[in-house]
Amino acid sequence: MKATFKKYILNFKNPAGTSRGVLKTKETWFIKIEKDGNWGIGECGMFRGLSIDDRPDFEEKLQWVCTHIQLGEKTLLKEVIEFPALQIGIETAFKSLQGEDAFEIFTSEFSHGNKTIPINGLVWMGDTAFMKEQISEKLKSGFSCIKMKIGAIDFQTEISLLKSIRKEFLPSEIELRVDANGAFSPSEALEKLKILSEIQLHSIEQPIKPGQIQEMARLCEATPLPIALDEELIGVFPSEEKKKLLKTIQPHYIILKPTLVGGFEGSDAWIDLAASMKIGWWITSALESNIGLNAIAQYTATKNSNLPQGLGTGSLFTNNIAAPLQVIDGTLRYNKNKNWDTAHLKELL
């Protein structure tokens, strides 16, 4: 058995605006395992400025994994506990190697092309005209759940945009979620949540920056709008720490990005804890290529959640690996009549 890795730069079709800045490219790494004429591929989609494993020794650790691939999946996962992006890459590559189809990571009605996953339509930050254009496009495309990034432009402008949707569509017709990416200060957050709640939103993600645990707990207790934790979960590894965090804050929802929270094993741990505390959850991708998105979508399908998931990022890039993943009428589908671009992959690896 041998393993190799390759870095790849994904280019955005349009600059992606967040409260952390504008993204034009996204780095990612593919890990390939070969054994007895078979191969498996996984993606290590570390996210600069957000991932806990955004550190100088990331590639060095990935090389160590490839050099020691003979240790096997379980041992390797323990060795890279502080590198969530490597964990999911390892998990995916081994499942890919072991399966009859290298791209069927988790078997379900979704991977067989018989079932779709409801997803939210993502509206990126930008000027008013750009955001209105995206909202209109998502509504025309049949999305029944829209998630809007907020916190980078004028708050009143964002409120006006949300109100314009709500004037046309009732909450029963269009579910609205917002993601502040920690843009609000603790002193202003509650007042802003009160204003947002009047628009009958589903929830808000990470209203204040992570690490302010007591402030977030107070906010969750007082808020008129359900709060979902996102970045707050990053870098929390021991199960006791996970439990303590959720017990202290008591959020309404948690949002799981497997690439950022410890792959599939890490996500399972969070889901089990959330279920025991009656906390809702959904899963989102973190700007991976279609290799990572496919694995995360197939994993998500096995959880049978009825909530719209955050898995609509496959069409963001000009140079993604062509895949059978399709977004149709606000759902993600695995189209068995389409093929993976294996020629492109061979060139990469």
Active site residues: 149, 257
> In angstroms, what CA-CA distances link 87 with 18, 43, 78, 234?
26, 10, 9, 14
CB of 228 closer than 8 Å to CB of 251 = yes
Q: Please tell me the number of Cα atoms within 13 Å of 301 on its side-chain side.
A: 24
- Total Cβ atoms within 10 A of residue 156: 9
- Total Cβ atoms within 10 A of residue 349: 15
How far apart CA 149 and CA 253 sit, in angstroms, is 17
- Total Cβ atoms within 10 A of residue 29: 19
Beta strand segments in the chain, E: 2-18, 21-35, 38-44, 117-118, 121-123, 145-149, 175-179, 203-205, 227-229, 253-256, 280-283, 325-328, 331-334
CB of 258 closer than 8 Å to CB of 266 = yes
